[in-house]
């Protein structure tokens, strides 16, 4: 058994077969090269990179898993230095006047084939090692690594990293959990794991993938942020016990279904759920959420190879509204950009995409796409109680432009004889310091605010939410963040608007009292967090002397 420590992003236990998904290797092409001297230099540089990587991995492995397990990386280093292996690559470059990638690939096939032919089991096993080191060398030549694959049976997905667009298409029935070598707790991949109830541990380090083979048994302890390759019986028994304790806790929480979200002194608050798609509705209903506080509609755009049309979107919004039987459903217009991108959109590469043309900025620059979404939303509004929310607001003029587009869409639908509700609430996200600071100016134009604490924290503290190395600075409890929320709450109420929190901080029970004292009207959290939050709210007495949680 080998143990790795990462960050648990959804507390749950899972045990199953590993399915290793790495990002795609570039296809190796045969390219004619005239300057073979330069090509040999490229090869030498790539070899140096590969050897450095192997040395680092070996040193790490020594510390984590001991000399005998780590020795495989010593073997890889020796193979990479092997005279015959290198002689073959250089020979192919020189005689055939071809690129180094191609020469490595041919050599890899030849050597792996040769090892495979051998009778000795030990030598046979070297075929995989030759392929491994050759892939490493080719990746170094390309200056890149890896891509995803799929699976047809329940597995634990083990990857270098997962993009939100890859996570959203994971088949829930076939995905027991996922483990990534990299990743940050505030990324949309982590948020999706929580919303989709997928046991997940991220940031376990690259060594995990080095040690893992397709089909190995892996176990995830999402509570402790630990993962195990080929767990022993004692570990499995311990995990099983943990699972039983958690199931019992869940059973007790379930007794809160149907109960009010009310403090001991009588303060009421709404507790709603965040979803990424219709497939999350089951968990929303199961956990007795008071509505949907955030439907991240952009995930509709990340599932396929082209923009979802008006009918497709209409069907999804209608389904959510109908399922919630009159409870409020807040659908956020697409917040594409930053880490949520699809190839077909052909968005420009940006130096700082989190602060680039994303959210409403993109919508306003692509009115055709925005109009399609607004039409689908307005048409679906007759099936329930709809709120439409706009992300990444920084100015009043953006709000005016959006409201003008909503009016145009309504006029268009009226002319076409399409029904829509007159009671749609329109709101904006407070997720930039600018929006919070001018919330007094914004509030008169909207029905509600919803605080996106994930982005509000990143922008207030100048801290990239996707950078795992900066996680210690991503302090959502920072007084600056809390003051901006408080200021927004005051300005919302002074202007007759309500205010919710839909960022991950809404589920932070250590701040529930602080938020209630700020008179936050609604929390929207992952479906699995609804009842825990209800329990917390019901335990609080706001008439007691204030305890500062900042």
Residues classed as catalytic: 188, 502
Q: Which does 466 bind (CB under 5 to 8 A by kind): Mg ion, ligand PEP, none?
A: none
H and E: helices and strands count for the chain: 20, 16
The nearer residue to ligand PEP, 36 or 394, going by C-beta atoms, is 394
3-class secondary structure, 265: coil
The nearer residue to ligand PEP, 203 or 452, going by C-beta atoms, is 452
Site string for ligand PEP, 331-370 (x = CB under 6 A): ----x-----------------------------------
For residue 94, the minimal CB distance to ligand PEP (Å) is 53
Site string for ligand PEP, 500-519 (x = CB under 6 A): --xx----------------
φ, ψ at 21 (rounded to 5°)? -115, 115
Within 222-297, strands assigned E span 226-229, 270-275, 292-296
CA distance 475 to 511: 13
Specify the stretch interacting with ligand PEP by CB under 6 A; choose among 216-224, 239-247, 448-456, 513-521. 448-456
Site for Mg ion in 410-449 (CB under 5 A): 431
From 250, 247, 249, 272, select the one nearest 261 (Cα to Cα).
272
CA distance 291 to 522: 10
Which residue of 287, 394, 432, 454 would you call a contact of ligand PEP, by CB under 6 A?
454
For the chain, the maximum distance between any two Cα atoms, rounded to a whole number of angstroms, is: 85
Q: Is 384 among the residues that bind Mg ion (CB under 5 A)?
A: no
Q: Is 455 among the residues that bind ligand PEP (CB under 6 A)?
A: yes
Q: Is 194 among the residues that bind ligand PEP (CB under 6 A)?
A: no
Q: Is 280 among the residues that bind ligand PEP (CB under 6 A)?
A: no
For residue 334, the minimal CB distance to ligand PEP (Å) is 11
Q: What angle do CA 368, 369, 370 make, to 5 degrees?
A: 95
Site string for ligand PEP, 149-178 (x = CB under 6 A): ------------------------------
Task: DSSP for 120-175, please give it.
Answer: SHHHHHHHHHHHHHHHHHHHHHHT--------SS-EEEEES---HHHHTTS-TTTE
3-state DSSP percent of the chain in helix, strand and coil, to 5: 50, 15, 35
Q: Is 452 among the residues that bind Mg ion (CB under 5 A)?
A: yes
Which residue of 39, 270, 280, 431 would you call a contact of ligand PEP, by CB under 6 A?
431
**Residue closest to Mg ion (Cβ):** 455
CA distance 405 to 422: 16
The nearer residue to ligand PEP, 129 or 504, going by C-beta atoms, is 504
Strand-pair partners of 499? 449
- In the complex, which residues of this chain contact ligand PEP (CB under 6 A)? 191, 294, 296, 335, 431, 452-455, 502-503
């Amino acid at each position: 058994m080998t143990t790795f420590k990462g960050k648990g992003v959804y507390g749950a236990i899972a045990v199953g077969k590993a399915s290793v998904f790495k990002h795609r290797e570039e296809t190796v092409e045969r390219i004619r090269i005239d300057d073979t001297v330069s090509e040999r230099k490229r090869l030498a540089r790539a070899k140096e990179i590969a050897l450095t990587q192997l040395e680092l991995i070996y040193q790490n492995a020594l510390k984590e898993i001991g000399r005998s397990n780590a020795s495989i990386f010593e073997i890889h280093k020796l193979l990479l230095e092997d005279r015959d292996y290198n002689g073959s690559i250089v020979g192919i470059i020189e005689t055939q006047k071809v690129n180094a990638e191609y020469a490595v690939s041919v050599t890899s096939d030849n050597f792996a084939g040769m090892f495979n032919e051998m009778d000795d089991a030990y030598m046979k096993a070297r075929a995989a090692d030759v392929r491994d080191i050759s892939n490493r060398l080719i990746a170094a030549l390309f200056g890149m690594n890896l891509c995803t694959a799929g699976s047809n049976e329940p597995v634990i997905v083990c990857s270098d990293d997962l993009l939100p667009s890859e996570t959203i298409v994971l088949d829930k029935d076939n995905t027991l959990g996922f483990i990534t070598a990299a990743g940050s707790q505030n990324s949309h991949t982590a948020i999706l794991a929580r919303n989709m109830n997928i046991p997940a541990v991220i940031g376990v380090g690259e060594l995990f993938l080095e040690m893992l083979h397709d089909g190995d048994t892996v176990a995830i302890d999402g509570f402790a942020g630990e993962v195990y390759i080929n767990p022993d019986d004692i570990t499995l028994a311990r995990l099983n016990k943990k699972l039983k304790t958690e199931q019992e806790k869940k059973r007790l929480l379930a007794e809160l279904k149907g109960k009010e979200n009310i403090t001991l002194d009588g303060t009421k608050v709404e507790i709603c759920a965040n979803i990424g798609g219709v497939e999350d509705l089951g968990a929303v209903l199961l956990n007795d959420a008071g509505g949907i506080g955030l439907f991240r509609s952009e995930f509709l755009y990340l599932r396929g190879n082209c923009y979802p049309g008006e009918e497709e979107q209409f069907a999804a919004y209608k389904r959510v509204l109908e399922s919630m039987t009159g409870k409020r459903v807040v659908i956020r217009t697409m917040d594409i950009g930053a880490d949520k991108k699809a190839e077909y959109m052909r968005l420009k590469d940006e130096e700082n995409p989190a602060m680039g043309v994303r959210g409403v900025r993109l919508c306003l620059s692509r009115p055709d796409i925005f109009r399609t979404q607004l039409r689908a939303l307005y048409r679906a509004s007759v099936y329930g109680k709809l709120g439409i929310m706009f992300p990444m607001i920084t100015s009043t003029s953006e709000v005016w432009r959006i409201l003008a587009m909503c009016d145009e869409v309504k006029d268009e639908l009226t002319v076409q004889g399409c029904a829509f509700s007159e009671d749609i609430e329109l709101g904006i996200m407070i997720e930039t310091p600018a929006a919070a600071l001018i919330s007094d100016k914004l509030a008169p134009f909207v029905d509600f605010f919803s605080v996106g604490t994930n982005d509000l924290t990143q922008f207030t503290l100048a801290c990239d939410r996707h950078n795992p190395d900066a996680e210690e600075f991503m302090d959502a409890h920072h007084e600056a963040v809390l003051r901006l929320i408080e200021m927004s709450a005051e300005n919302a109420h002074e202007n007759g608007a309500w205010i919710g929190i839909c960022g991950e901080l809404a589920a932070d029970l250590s701040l529930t009292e602080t938020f209630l004292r700020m008179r936050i009207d609604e929390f929207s959290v992952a479906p699995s967090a609804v009842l825990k939050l209800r329990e917390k709210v019901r335990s609080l007495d706001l008439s007691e002397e204030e305890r500062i949680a900042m």
